[in-house]
Amino acid sequence: MSKLRIFFLTSFSLIAFAANSLLCRFALKGTEIDASSFTSIRLFSGAITLWLLVCITQRQTTISGNWKSAFALFVYAACFSFAYVGLTAATGALLLFGAVQITMIGFGIWKGERLDFTKFFGIILAFGGLVYLLLPGISSPSLFSSVFMMIAGLAWGIYSLRGGRSKNPTATTAGNFIRAVPFSIILNIVTLEKINIDSYGFLFAVLSGALASGMGYAVWYSVLPFLKSTKASVIQLIVPVIASLGGVIFIAEPLTLRIFVSSLFILFGIALVIFDRFKATLKS
C-alpha cells in the first residue's frame, strides 16, 4: 500500500470517528430521536454494512466475534448516545478518547509495564486535564453525561484490547456488531415509554452506523497493519481536535477556554506516555 493511500485512508478513518460524535450530538440536540433508538439504529446499520463488506471483499463469509466483546461494544454505543444528550461534541470526544487511552495505558501498567518519570508525569497531566474539565463551574459539562462518556471510553478500551489480536478484524467487528443488536433491543424494551424516532434522527443514526462506524472501522482496520502501534495511538488523539472544530463549524458549539486547556493537558499527557513507549521500543 502506497504512503499516499495510507494517508487518505487514515484521514478518512479519523474523520469518520469524529463524525460519530457530531452525528450523535446533532441528532440528540436537533431532532426528536431518543438515545436508545439512536443506539439500536446505529448498531443495526453498522452490522448490516460490515456484513455486506465481509461478503463482498472476502472469499469466505465467516462472521467471528464473541458475546463478551459484543457486550463491551454495546455498553460503549449506549453510554456514548446517552452522554451526548448533555455534552458538546468537543467535550464528548475529549472525554471518550481520554478514557480510551487511559484504559489501555492502565492495562499496560497492570500487566507489569514500568512507570518512569516521563510516563508518570504524562498520566498525572492527563488525569489533571480530566479533573479540570469536570470541576464545577459555569462552563463545566454535565457530571451525569460525563460519567456516561467515560464509561463509554472504558468499554471501548476493553473492546479494543480484546480485539487487538484478531486475524480478521473486519469479520470480527461484523460479528460483534451483529451480537450487540440484541442488547440494544433489550435497552429499547426497557426504555419503551421514551422511544421517539423522526426521519432526520433516523437518517443521522444510519449515517453514524453505516458510514462513520461500519465503513470507518473497516477502513481503519485495513490500514492499521501499515501503521506502527504507537503511531496509531498518537494519530487517534487528533480525533477530539477534529470533533471540536466540527462542532464549532457545523453545530455552532462554543470552544471554551476550559475545553482548550483541558485538551492540552489530556492530549499532551497521553502523548508523553505513548512516545515514551516508542523510545523504549527503539532502545530494545
- pTM for this structure? 0.85
pLDDT digits (tens, 9 = 90+) for 180-189: 999 999 999 9
- The domain segmentation of the chain, as residue ranges, is 18-282
pLDDT at position 57 over 90: no
How far apart CA 222 and CA 236 sit, in angstroms, is 15
| pLDDT for the residue 63 | 81
Cell reading at 65: 466475534
At 110, the amino acid letter reads W
pLDDT of 233 reads 65
The whole-number pLDDT of residue 22 equals: 95
In degrees to the nearest 10, what's the CA dihedral of 134, 139, 142, 146? -40
Cell output for 244: 471540536
Distance CA 243, CA 64 (A): 31
Task: State the pLDDT confidence band at 254, using cuts at 50, 70 and 90.
Answer: confident
Task: Give the mean pLDDT of 44-67.
Answer: 87
- Among 72-81, 152-161, 225-234, the least confident range: 225-234
Percent of the chain with pLDDT over 90: 38
